[in-house]
């Protein structure tokens, strides 16, 4: 029986945004691309990997 459902909007229990930003920076550097945090927030954060890759 289900006793509880837990939802975590990033930053409530765990703040993973900085980790995701750093990982995307490292990944894209391998392709010769540089991103800053404003670019990450506008084009990457909150999107699925498929959508991100299609738009890059």
Separation of alpha carbons 22 and 37, rounded Å: 9
The pLDDT tens digits of the residues spanning 4-40 come to 988 777 777 888 899 999 999 999 999 999 999 999 9
Q: How confident is the model at residue 50 (pLDDT cuts 50, 70, 90)?
A: very high
* DSSP, residue by residue, the chain: ---------TTSS---HHHHHHHHHHHHHTTT----HHHHHHHTTTS-HHHHHHH-
21 close to 27: Cβ distance less than 8 angstroms: no
Domain segments of the chain: what residues? 32-56
């Amino acid at each position: 029986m289900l006793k509880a459902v837990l939802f975590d909007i990033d930053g409530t229990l765990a703040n993973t945004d900085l980790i995701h930003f750093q990982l995307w920076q490292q990944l894209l550097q391998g392709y010769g691309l540089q991103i800053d945090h404003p670019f990450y927030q506008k084009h990457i954060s909150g999107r699925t990997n498929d959508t991100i890759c299609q738009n890059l």
